[in-house]
Amino acid sequence: MRTLPPGSTIGILGGGQLGRMLSMAAAQLGYRCHIYAPDERSVAAEVAAEFSCHQDDDIPALTKFAKACDAITFEFENVPVGPLHEIEECASLYPPIAALDIAQNRVAEKKFARDHGGTTAPFAEVYDRADLDQAIADIGAPAILKTIRMGYDGKGQSRIRPGDELCGHWDAVAHQPCVAEAFITFSHEFSVILVRGQDGEIRFWDTPHNIHEDGILAHSLIPAPQEIADQQDEARALAAKMAEAMAYVGVLTCEFFATKNGPVFNEMAPRVHNSGHWTIEGAVTSQFENHIRAICGLPLGDTGLAARQVEMHNLIGAEADDWEALLSECSNHLHLYGKGESRPGRKMGHVTKLHF
CB 293 within 8 A of CB 310: no
Write out pLDDT tens, residues 210-254.
999 988 999 999 999 999 999 999 999 999 999 999 999 999 999
Three-state secondary-structure class, residue 115: helix
pLDDT, mean over the chain? 94
Q: CA-to-CA distance for 99 and 86, rounded, in angstroms? A: 17
pLDDT in tens, 92-101: 999 999 999 9
pLDDT attached to residue 151? 61
Query: Smallest Cα–Cα separation from 269: which of 291, 256, 253, 249?
Result: 253
What CA–CA distance (Å, rounded) separates 313 from 299? Answer: 30
Q: What integer pLDDT is reported at residue 301 of this predicted model?
A: 98
- Read off the amino acid at residue 2: R
